[in-house]
Amino acid sequence: MRRYAELSSGQFRELANRAVFIVPVGSVEQHCEGPLGTDLMIAEAVSEAACEHLERSGTPCVLMPAIPYGLSAEWQGAPGTISVPFQHLVGLVQGIARSLVEGGARAVAFVNGHYGNSPAIQAALRDLMPSLPESGSCSLTTGRPLTLTWGTPARPRGRCSGPSGTHA
C-alpha cells in the first residue's frame, strides 16, 4: 500500500492513470465514552483494508490523508465535537478530487465513516462531474457504494446512481 504523502511527484505521475486513490472521510464528535475519532478511525481502517485488497488483486492503490472533520451539527456543543459547515466539506472534497483528476488520476474513492457527511460528499461529486475529463470514476462508500462514473460507454457522462449510505 502506498501513502500519498510519501510519494514524490514522479511516483504520483507514474501511478496516476492506473491506481485507485482512496480518501478516508470521518468526523470528530462525541461517542459517549468512546473515542472522539471513532468515525475517522473506521474510515481509515476500511480504507487501509480496501487498499490492501486492491494491491493483492494487482491494482495499485494509494491511501490519501484522511479528511478528519465532517458534518456533526447534531452534536455541536457536545464536549469534543468539531463540526464544519456543509459548504466547507463540499469544497474540500471537490478540491481533492479535482486536484487528483487534473494530475491524471482516473479512479478516486471517498470512504465515509460518518453518515452525516454523505449529502455533502454526494453533492460535491455530482457538481464536479461536468468539469471532469472524458473518462474515469469517483465513488463514495458509506456502507453501500455510490459510484459516479464519467464518460464511459456503460454510463453516459453526468449520470449518477446509488442508494443512500448507512452510518458506520
Each domain of the chain, given as residue ranges in start order, spans 2-161
Mean pLDDT of the chain: 83
pLDDT digits (tens, 9 = 90+) for 34-49: 899 999 999 999 999 9
Q: Which burial class, exposed, middle or buried, applies to 62 when counting CB atoms under 10 A from its CB (0-12, 13-18, 19+)?
A: buried
Using 50, 70 and 90 to split pLDDT, how confident is the model at 129? confident
Q: How far apart are CA 89 and CA 78, in angstroms?
A: 20
Q: Hey, CA dihedral for 57, 62, 65, 67, is it positive or negative?
A: negative
* CATH number of this structure's domain 2-161, picked from the four choices 3.30.457.10, 3.40.50.10310, 3.10.290.10, 3.90.1200.10: 3.40.50.10310
Judged against a pLDDT cut of 60, whether residue 131 lies above it is answered with yes
Q: How far apart are CA 41 and CA 57, in angstroms?
A: 24
Using 50, 70 and 90 to split pLDDT, how confident is the model at 56? very high
Q: How far apart are CA 96 and CA 52, in angstroms?
A: 22
